[in-house]
Structures are given as structure tokens and as C-alpha cells.
């Protein structure tokens, strides 16, 4: 936010705005940050990278600098951390919205590697520690619209997945990126339930994956991701319905064919590959024209209007120029 008013800041403190204990106790780093301005901020994030790599436990501090990406910082009121971390769809840990917060503690997030595969010059297994260091962490305050008709505003921490893609150098023949998530029966009690084919697979077109808003996410609210939100790293694609943003990623595969994504396989008439937020294309069982903002819209308040591409049309609209979005839902 550029202009702070009395309604911001102290009126609505959020965890991400509170200086973490580790930061204010580290005076030298703080002075470097103050003295160096913007350059200092970059330096500071570089300086802390090893410290961060050593403590990827959920709840540990993971600050991100302000993002310069267009559309990356909505000024809407943040959803309470309690709701964002307690009301989740993460079916590997149960079907009920409160199940993931209850069950995800069994997930083991260290050690963690992500396999880069397919049509790419630098395939291989990338350790979480290296991914954390790959680019500077940014805070991105995104609207999150679930296909079920509710929404949140969440301050994520991460960097554009484009940074990783550029590093691993996809071949010219790579047209899509497939994101495969963990399916470990030992630590995820509902893997094996008949809801979906496991593992949960999501995918994007290459230009969607390369869009700066597409975030490789390691934290939220200034902290390492809680396990129920997809620790240790997940995708966040703010202009698509939430299920397009895979959690607890273990594999990123570059391919020339459109990936068979989990929901479009399970219920092709209800969920398409694109699944862009679109108030004009209804889900067969409910309207997508409106949404309920969790924790904000009162029980008897009318639902708010859903925006085209979840309000990110200026940034992503051109990706779909000329496409029939009713056909490619």
C-alpha cells in the first residue's frame, strides 16, 4: 500500500507487519537494512538465506520484501491467519475443511526435494534449501477464490515460479508445466481415498507458469507455510480457482502435452484444465457470479460479486485473448 491511513497499520495489525523477534534482535543486519534502503533489503534477504534454510519449520519467520510485480499487493483486508490456516481443502488429510489443520502434523517437510523432469536442459533433484535461496522472497498479497464460492485475502511469501523455470532452462518443445504433489500414504491418511486419483496433479500452460503473478510459495503471513497450507512449498495462481494451486510439490515436469490434471480427470464436466476464475461461466452445481469473503462478509450479507480472472484481468487477460472461455473453462 502506498498511502497509509489511520485505518491501516495499528488498526489491523497482521503477523507479516510485525517485525520478527529474530530480525530486531539482529542489530547489525537491521542497520544494514536501514542504511542500504532498497539495496539493503535485497542484501539482507541474501544475508539471511542460510539462516532461513536451516529453519524451514512451519511457523518460523519467513519475511518477504515488497513485490514490484503488478497486481501483487491488493490493499483489501487480510483474512485472519486462523481462518486461512484452519479452513482448507487438502484432501490428502481429509475431506472436511477442518481436517487438514487437525491431521497435517504428520507431514514430514525435511528433508525435501523437488524433481525437475521432462523437456528441460537442467533436470534433477533440487533440495528445498537451494530452492529457498534461488531468488529473493517477496510478499504477495493475493485474493484467493475457491471454486466452491468462497474467497480469502492471503499474504503469501515466495517468488515467481518463472525464476525457477528460467534457471532450469526448458526446451523449446515444452508447452506445459505439470506440478505433481506428494502422495505419501504413511504421512497422509487420506491418500488412497476414492475422491481423486493420487498423486494430485495440476498443470499450467507455459505462458501461465511464466507469468510473474504465478508464485512458488514457501510462506504466508511472514512465516513458513503451515503444513495444512501445503508446506514446504506450493504453487499459488491467483487468477485461477484455488485447486489449481498444488500443495506440497515434489515434481515439476515440462511437457508438450496438456497435463491430465486431477480434477479434470475426476469430474471433467465440472472442472476444466484452465479453471480461470470467471463469473460468467457457472459450475454445473452452483453459480460462480458471487463469492463469500471468509471472516469478513457477515452471515446475512449478500455475497460479493466475483471478478473476471479474480480481479487480475489487467495482468493476465491477454494470455487468453481470442479464447472461448466457455469452452476452455
Partner 1 sequence: MDTARLNRWLLGPAVKPVLFLACLLPVLWLIYATASDQLGANPAEALIRSTGDWTLRMLCLVLAVTPLRIQFKLPALARLRRMLGLFVFAYAVLHLLCYAWLDMGLEPGDIARDIAKRPFILVGFTAFVLLTLLAATSWNRAIRALGAVRWQALHRLVYAVAVLAVLHFFWMRAGKNNFAEVQVYAGVLGLLLGWRLWRLWSGQRPRTAVGQARIDQGPR
Q: What is the DSSP letter of 20?
A: P
Stretch binding partner 1 (CB under 8 A), from 103-111, 118-126, 299-307, 320-328? 299-307
Whole-number Å distance between alpha carbons of 133 and 120:
21
Does residue 97 belong to the site contacting partner 1 (CB under 8 A)? Answer: yes
> Under DSSP, is residue 30 helix (H, G, I), strand (E, B) or coil?
helix
CB of 195 to partner 1, least distance (A): 5
Does residue 98 belong to the site contacting partner 1 (CB under 8 A)? Answer: yes
Residue 291 CA: distances (Å) to CA of 129, 226, 274: 38, 25, 19
Does residue 195 belong to the site contacting partner 1 (CB under 8 A)? Answer: yes
Q: Out of 285, 305, 326, 327, name the contact with partner 1 by CB under 8 A.
A: 285
Rg of the Cα trace of the chain? Answer: 19
Whole-number Å distance between alpha carbons of 130 and 118:
20
Q: Residues touching partner 1: how many (CB under 8 A)? A: 26
Does residue 287 belong to the site contacting partner 1 (CB under 8 A)? Answer: yes
Closer CB to partner 1, 82 or 108, in the complex:
82
Stretch binding partner 1 (CB under 8 A), from 35-43, 123-131, 181-189, 263-271? 263-271
Which residue is associated with the grid cell 497499520?
9
Q: Which cell is 5 given?
A: 491511513
Closer CB to partner 1, 150 or 254, in the complex:
150
Nearest to 148 by CA among 280, 279, 241, 261: 241
Q: Spell out the SS3 assignment of 100-166.
A: HHHHHHHCCCCCCEEEEEECECCCEEEEHHHHHHCCCCEEEEEEEECCCCEEEEEEEEEEEHHHHHH
Residues 99-138 that bind partner 1 (CB under 8 A): none
Q: Out of 47, 183, 295, 319, name the contact with partner 1 by CB under 8 A.
A: 295
Please give the helix or strand (H or E) that residue 233 lies within, else none.
none
Which residue is associated with the grid cell 476464475?
277
Closer CB to partner 1, 88 or 315, in the complex:
88
Does residue 305 belong to the site contacting partner 1 (CB under 8 A)? Answer: no
Closer CB to partner 1, 223 or 291, in the complex:
291
Stretch binding partner 1 (CB under 8 A), from 64-72, 161-169, 211-219, 278-286? 278-286
Residues 144-163 that bind partner 1 (CB under 8 A): 150
Does residue 270 belong to the site contacting partner 1 (CB under 8 A)? Answer: yes
Does residue 313 belong to the site contacting partner 1 (CB under 8 A)? Answer: no
Q: Out of 26, 83, 163, 313, name the contact with partner 1 by CB under 8 A.
A: 83
Which residues lie closer than 8 Å to 76 by C-beta, 6 or more apart?
141, 143, 153
Binding site for partner 1 (CB under 8 A): 82-83, 86-87, 95, 97-98, 150, 194-196, 266-267, 270, 282, 284-287, 292, 294-295, 299-300, 302-303
Amino acid at each position: 500500500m502506498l498511502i497509509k491511513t489511520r485505518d491501516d497499520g495499528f488498526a489491523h495489525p497482521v503477523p507479516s507487519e510485525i517485525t520478527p523477534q529474530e530480525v530486531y534482535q539482529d542489530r547489525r543486519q537491521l542497520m544494514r537494512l536501514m542504511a542500504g534502503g532498497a539495496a539493503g533489503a535485497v542484501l539482507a534477504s541474501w544475508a539471511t538465506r542460510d539462516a532461513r534454510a536451516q529453519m524451514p519449520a512451519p511457523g518460523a519467520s519467513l519475511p518477504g520484501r515488497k513485490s514490484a510485480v503488478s497486481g501483487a499487493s491488493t490493499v483489501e483486508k487480510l483474512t485472519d491467519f486462523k481462518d486461512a490456516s484452519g479452513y482448507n481443502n487438502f484432501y490428502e488429510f481429509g475431506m472436511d475443511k477442518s481436517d487438514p489443520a487437525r491431521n497435517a502434523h504428520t507431514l514430514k517437510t525435511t528433508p525435501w526435494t523437488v524433481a525437475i523432469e521432462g523437456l528441460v536442459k537442467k533436470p534433477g533433484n533440487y533440495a528445498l534449501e537451494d530452492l529457498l535461496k534461488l531468488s529473493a522472497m517477496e510478499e504477495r498479497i493475493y485474493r484467493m477464490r475457491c471454486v466452491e464460492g468462497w474467497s480469502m485475502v492471503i499474504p503469501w511469501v515466495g517468488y515467481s515460479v518463472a525464476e525457477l523455470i528460467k534457471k532450469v532452462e526448458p526446451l523449446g518443445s515444452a508447452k506445459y508445466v505439470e506440478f505433481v504433489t506428494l502422495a505419501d500414504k504413511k504421512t497422509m491418511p487420506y491418500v488412497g481415498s476414492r475422491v481423486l486419483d493420487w498423486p494430485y496433479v495440476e498443470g499450467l500452460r507455459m505462458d501461465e507458469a511464466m507469468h510473474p503473478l504465478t508464485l512458488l510459495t514457501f510462506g504466508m503471513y511472514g512465516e513458513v507455510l503451515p503444513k495444512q497450507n501445503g508446506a514446504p512449498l506450493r504453487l499459488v495462481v491467483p487468477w485461477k480457482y484455488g485447486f489449481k494451486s498444488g500443495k506440497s510439490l515434489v515434481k515439476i515436469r515440462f511437457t508438450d502435452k496438456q497435463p491430465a490434471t486431477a480434477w479434470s480427470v475426476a469430474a471433467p464436466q465440472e472442472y476444466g484444465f484452465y479453471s480461470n476464475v470467471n463469473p460468467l461461466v457457472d459450475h454445473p452445481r452452483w453459480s460462480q457470479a458471487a463469492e463469500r469473503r471468509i471472516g469478513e462478509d457477515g452471515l446475512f450479507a449478500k455475497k460479493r460479486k466475483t471478478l473476471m480472472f479474480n480481479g487480475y484481468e489487467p495482468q493476465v487477460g491477454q494470455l487468453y485473448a481470442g479464447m472461448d472461455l466457455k469452452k476452455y473453462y
